[in-house]
Homo-oligomer: A and B are copies of this chain.
Amino acid sequence: MHQGGQEPDWLDEDEMQAWMALVRLLVRLPSALDAQLRRDASITHFEYQVLAQLSMAEGHTMRMSDLAQLADGSLSRLSHTATRLEKRGWISRATDPEDGRYTIATLTKSGMTKMVATAPGHVAAVREHVFEPLTTRQVQQLAAIANRIVGSIDSDTGPA
């Protein structure tokens, strides 16, 4: 808010250009990736993330709260999403026998099949729009930049 140095009220020309480019990226890339998943798999990017995290977990099982964090979403959002995924038969939920407060989500066999069918197309889209247009060096730069920005947001609000 008030770093010691100078904080002009507006952005200079270079900053403005970078900012507009970033806004376009923030709008277009998510919508392009969402569009591919909706078109080819009738699934949301967030739903994909949920299924993907489960498919990578031990026993294809995870607590809802851990899953929410890994998939970058609120618990409420995950709960609604889980309801939908359950209706489609891709996951199931059960109370954690070791602690009744937790709910454990499990990827079903059908859900795993869905992932196997969906992942290659999605990875291809990511590759096409992110890794193909960039040099190896730019990919490293991007990772560093993204981590820096997210770090700044985390230190502002809940770092958890």
Contact = CB atoms under 8 A, between A and B. Distances in A.
Interface of A: 1, 3, 7, 9-11, 14-15, 17-19, 21-30, 32, 49, 72-73, 120, 123-124, 126-134, 138-154, 156-157
A72 B151 contact: no
Q: Give the copy number.
A: 2
A118 to B, nearest CB: 13
Given A19-B130, A120-B9, A148-B138, A26 B26 contact: yes
User: Chain A contact residues: over half helix, strand or loop, or mixed?
Assistant: helix
Contacts of A123: 9-11
Given A72-B24, A140-B14, A149-B133, A126 B19 contact: yes
Contacts of A28: 72, 149-150, 153-154
Contacts of A148: 133-134, 138
